[in-house]
Each structure stands twice: as structure tokens, then as C-alpha cells.
Amino acid sequence: MEKKVDALGPTGRRVAERLGQIRRERNLTQGQLSQRLAALERPIAVAALSKIEQGSRRVDADDLVALALAMDVTPNELLLATSARQDEAVQLTPARSMEGAEAWQWATYDPNEDGRGVFISYAQQDQKWAHWIAWHLEEAGLPVEGPPWTFPPGTNWDSETQRSIRSSRCFVALLSEAYVSSEWAHREWTLAAAGGFRRRRLLPLRIENFNVPLQFAKYRYVDLVARSSEQASDDLLRAVRSVVSERRTTPPIRPEFPGTSL
């Protein structure tokens, strides 16, 4: 007699739901899916597949990989909500959930792709500050990830912003009244803060004289208020250089000419 499954958690229930959805999208019967699994030498009978979809049978790691291979999807497409629902909450455990985009970023993290550049998050009203900071960083050999003003026409703003944040090593937030009240800026900050597993440094820059909210004040921020251009530039570069390597296009010391002098 098959042992009754313990109550599934949120991920187990989602796997059961996604298995049925994807199977139907692929126009596969449970019988056809069972045949594919047998060919992979990880057989699951039709009755067992039915129980999985009903949430009355668990899926172990070997089952998960075999099911993903059999339906030509990644395991993440069974574990997470479809990537088209990026704004929906994904419950990972009873105590932890993430937005769809954040969950996919977490699940697809590649430790070999350690970000190098700087992402600048700002309110539209502070674009002059963003330009000034980006210029000083690039001029100093510190790469800026995807400044929005460089996006070509037709760029998907949301997906390109997410990609730039994922690729960054340092997330610079330009703190002002406009920034802390911006829904878009809040979303960028939340996405960056949730990606701490990527060893990304959050660097708030106070560019306006106002009381910084606790969610930002708990981080050590750089205050650029009432600073000269030279002082602000020095403070900015010192802070960013502590986490981002400079990208030089020429050696720091001029080399000797390797040819024959005439």
C-alpha cells in the first residue's frame, strides 16, 4: 500500500499545478509523458503521474529533473510560476515569498557571473545628478551598467533594467524626496536588496537635504549635500572603488617601446 503523502508545501503544490499546465500546453497525455519518462530510465506510471498532479504524491529531485527533460522545460519552470507573471508573489516556503522577477533572479543565479559594474538608481527629477555621477565613474574607469539614456528606441525598459541590476556589483541609489516616493525607484531598490546573494553592495548617496527614511538610513550612505564638485567626486569614487574594480583600457604605467628605436 502506497504511503499517504504528507501535506505539500507551497513549492510542492506549485510543482503539481505546473506539471499539469505544462503537460497540457505540450498536448501530452499522461500516458505519453509516462512513456517519455520510461525512455529516460526514470519510469513513473500513469497512476502516479495522476497523483502528482492531484497533489497526493511527492516529487523528489530525480523525478523533477526527469519530468523537466521529458517535457523539454527547465526544472525552474516547474518550481516557479511562469516567467510571464513577474509581478505575482511566489511562495517558496510558508515563511518566505518573492515577486516573480526576484524569484527567477534567485533561482537562475550563476556564481561565475559576478557583477562588475555600477547601476545608478534615481528619480526622473534627479537625472542631472545621475548623468554627473555616471560621467565621473566612467571617466575613472568604473563601468556603469546600462544607463537608461543609452537604451535604444524599442528597448523593453523593465527587462533591461532588471538585467542591468543583475549584472551590477554596486547599486547606487540617489536619495532625495523624489526618490523615496517613487514607486519605480522602490521596485529597483527592492530587487537589488533581495539579490544580496550576489554579493552586491548597496550604496545610497544623499543628494538632497532631507531626513533619510530608515530603510535607507540603516545603510552607511555617502552625503554629497553641501560638497564641492571636487569633494563630491572624491567621496563618490572612494566609495565605489571599495567594491568595484577599475576597468582600464591602457596599463597604469606607460610601457617602454618594444621595437627598435631609430
Domain range for residue 164?
117-241
Burial (CB count within 10 angstroms: exposed 0-12, middle 13-18, buried 19+), residue 142: buried
The pLDDT, as a whole number, for residue 109 is: 63
pLDDT digits (tens, 9 = 90+) for 142-201: 888 876 666 677 777 777 787 788 778 899 999 999 999 999 898 888 878 765 544 568
The pLDDT, as a whole number, for residue 204 is: 94
Mean pLDDT value across residues 208-219? 90
Mean pLDDT value across residues 82-95? 71
| Residue that is last in its domain, among 107, 125, 145 | 107
Task: Give this prediction's pTM.
Answer: 0.54
Mean pLDDT value across residues 240-255? 62
| Residue that is last in its domain, among 107, 128, 157 | 107
- The overall average pLDDT reported for the chain is 82
CATH number of the domain bearing residue 91: 1.10.260.40
> Do the strands 96-99 and 89-93 form a parallel or antiparallel pair, or are they unpaired?
antiparallel
Enumerate residues 6+ apart whose C-beta is below 8 A from 14.
78, 79, 80, 81, 90, 91
Q: Which residue has the higher pLDDT, 217 or 178?
A: 178
Same domain, 121 and 219: yes
**Which 8-state DSSP code applies to residue 123?**
-
